[in-house]
Amino acid sequence: MLAQERYTIILEMLETNKIVKVPDLCKAFNVSIETVRRDLEYLEQEGKLKRVYGGAVLTTKSAKEPSYYSRSTKNAEEKVAIGRKAAELVSNGDTLMIDLGTTTLEVARHLKDKTDLTIITNCLTIAQELVDVPTFRVILPGGLLRAKELALSGFISEQFMNDFNVDKTIIGAGGITVDRGISDYHLEETRVRRTMIEKGEQTIVVADHSKFGIKALVNVCSLEDIDTIVTNGKLKKDIAQTYVDKNIKVIGFGE
């Protein structure tokens, strides 16, 4: 098993149990105590957990997801602008996968002047926003429904998304860094996002300037999986340039 696979499983165990013990990890991975300690040390350096005697606990700093209300009101004007710019990248007749989120919701709201779109989304709020557009076809997966977010996730959602191929996948982000790429907070929803990214010909990330430099709990994908980032004018040009240097198209910065 690769180290990255162990990291993911350790974080999954912490998400569920809030604590992991070294002997349990040794048994689960069939590795030495030294290997487990190195894994925990690495994850602690990344801010994902805190080592304690005999194991590790989840750190509040990296694990806590901001409330839906706080996210919906923070940088609201910027999110509207991002939604408008991202919608311009969508062509009539496109097939789309749209991730849940307050910024992706703004993208959905700006799609209504398009025609003949097929939208696959795991967010009930986005589906409700678009279902009344006469030429749109809106498709929802099954899965576990999370309160407040009204988002569907879990293996049923993953399996469902895997059956489609789309022109563009539009996702939000809890954090973006050059070294870790896109990250977010909710483990089950992250797995659905990964499937959505795999199934899209293009992947568009929508994120305001406050998400840059942030490492959320769970890694979603590397920058190599991203084609375009749509952001807002408050993102500094030198920060945007670091992503342009990674062959990513960045729209909306420094305006």
- State the pLDDT confidence band at 66, using cuts at 50, 70 and 90: low
pTM, two decimals, is 0.72
Edge-first strand listing for the sheet containing 218-221: 175-177, 181-184, 218-221
Q: How many CB atoms lie within 10 A of CB 236?
A: 12
Identity of the amino acid at 166 = V
**Beta-bridge partners for 49:** 58
User: 81 and 44 in one domain?
Assistant: no
User: 132 and 29 in one domain?
Assistant: no
Tell me the residue range of the domain where 72 lies.
68-251
User: 121 and 48 in one domain?
Assistant: no
pLDDT digits (tens, 9 = 90+) for 191-244: 999 999 999 999 999 999 989 988 888 899 999 999 999 999 888 898 999 999
CATH of the domain at 47: 1.10.10.10
Identity of the amino acid at 148 = K
pLDDT digits (tens, 9 = 90+) for 97-155: 999 999 999 999 999 999 999 999 999 999 999 999 999 999 999 999 988 788 999 99
User: 118 and 189 in one domain?
Assistant: yes
Last residue of a domain, one of 25, 47, 63: 63
pLDDT over 70 (residue 189): yes
Residue 140 near residue 131, CB atoms below 8 Å: no
Q: What is the C-alpha to C-alpha distance for residues 37 and 49, in angstroms, rounded to an integer?
A: 12
Helices 3-17 and 187-199: crossing angle in degrees, nearest 10, is: 140
Q: Mean pLDDT over all residues of the chain?
A: 89
Residue 91 near residue 245, CB atoms below 8 Å: no
